[in-house]
Amino acid sequence: MAVRTARFRFYGCLTDLLRPPDAGGDHASIPGRRYAFRGTPSVKNAIEAQGVPHPEVDLILVDGSPVGLDAPIDGGERVGVYPFARSLGRPDGALRPSPPDPPRFVCDVHLGRLARFLRMIGRDVRYATDAGDAALARVSDAENRILLTRDRELLNRSRVTHGAFVRAQDPDRRRVETVARFNLDAYVDPFTRCLNCNTLLEPVRPERVADDLPDRVRRAHDSFYRCRSCDRTFWEGSHVDRMRDEIRSVLCRASNG
């Protein structure tokens, strides 16, 4: 079967996901990179073969016309691949429905610290240390959640509609990256969720939890919150000031790029 080629050009943040070009010397620049193939692959398969998971893509133009992920390529096409940009309006020909608003997430097993921070600022985040790839994809689809992961192959699953590959390796940079990417500064409602199980916290009268508290806590505080799922009690101790400082730092760095 003869080898055919198409020219792909990736835009914006998609370029940092591209695998190195094949040993033909092409580069990811104008007029694009040459993609060699046999048969008639879908444009989805061609894009993912070059390192870009399909949930990162919001618009595909083949010879100037928008196409879906299942569109075939035969050879000779020029393909433009554009990322999703939450801050911009949806383009004509967008591939997927708008993501959940306010944003809610499911994180893979490698992003526990990120999941905890997102819960800290009040976002709804599913996370479990024993969740496999199939379960993560199912939750993302069934509950309309944005799947955050460090695993490109997980994002390539056809069931995943909304997802993002977290670029940063450093946990602190991951928080800044995620807040900036999804404009989460507009959705901050800190200390409203249980960091352990994600349940919304409820105010509780001091006398209801008095027997569960150390004496020093009963004497120093009069406002308490309870998680009805894991039955934990929370109050604003000195750790809350440190968490507020952490949130301010992340939001500041995210807003400053």
Q: Where are the domains of the chain?
A: 4-83, 105-188
Confidence at residue 15, expressed as pLDDT on a 0 to 100 scale: 93
Confidence at residue 209, expressed as pLDDT on a 0 to 100 scale: 80
Q: What is the CATH number of domain 4-83?
A: 3.10.20.30
| pLDDT per residue of the chain (257 residues) written in tens, 0 to 9 | 789 999 999 999 999 999 876 544 454 444 589 999 999 999 999 999 999 999 999 999 999 999 999 999 999 999 999 998 765 566 777 888 888 999 999 999 999 999 999 999 999 999 999 999 999 999 999 999 999 999 999 999 999 999 999 999 999 999 999 999 999 999 999 999 999 999 999 999 888 888 778 888 877 887 889 999 998 888 887 788 999 999 999 999 999 87
Task: Output the CA angle 66-26-167, nearest 5 degrees.
Answer: 70
Task: Output the CA angle 81-82-86, nearest 5 degrees.
Answer: 160
Confidence at residue 23, expressed as pLDDT on a 0 to 100 scale: 42
What digits encode the pLDDT tens for the residues 202-236? 999 888 888 778 888 877 887 889 999 998 888 88
Confidence at residue 87, expressed as pLDDT on a 0 to 100 scale: 58
Cβ–Cβ < 8 Å for 3, 37: yes
Residue 158, helix vs strand vs coil: coil
Q: Kind of pairing, strands 125-126 and 105-107?
A: parallel
CATH entry 3.30.70 includes domain 105-188: no
Cβ neighbours around 221 below 10 Å, total: 13
Confidence at residue 86, expressed as pLDDT on a 0 to 100 scale: 65
Confidence at residue 30, expressed as pLDDT on a 0 to 100 scale: 44
Confidence at residue 95, expressed as pLDDT on a 0 to 100 scale: 83
Q: Burial of 2 by CB count in 10 Å (0-12 exposed, 13-18 middle, 19+ buried)? A: exposed
Q: Burial of 187 by CB count in 10 Å (0-12 exposed, 13-18 middle, 19+ buried)? A: middle
Confidence at residue 28, expressed as pLDDT on a 0 to 100 scale: 45
